[in-house]
Amino acid sequence: MILLASRSSGRLSTLRAAGVEPLVRASSVDEEAVLHELANRRRATGLPAPSAAEQVQALARAKALDVAADIDPQEAEVVVGCDSMLEIDGRVVGKPTDAKDARERWRVMSGGTGTLYTGHFLVRTTNEAIAEGVSSATVRFGSPSRDEIEAYIASGEPLWCAGAFTIDGLGGAFVEGVEGDPHGVVGLSLPLLRRLVIELGGSWTDLWAQGRGRTETESDR
Is 83 noted as a catalytic residue in this protein?
A: yes
Catalytic hit among 83, 101, 181, 220: 83
User: What is the C-alpha to C-alpha distance for residues 99 and 103, in angstroms, rounded to an integer?
Assistant: 6
User: What is the C-alpha to C-alpha distance for residues 172 and 86, in angstroms, rounded to an integer?
Assistant: 16
CB atoms closer than 10 angstroms to residue 198: 12
CB burial readout 148-171, b (16+ within 10 A) else e: ebeebbeeebbeebbbbbbbbbeb
Q: Which residues are catalytic?
A: 83
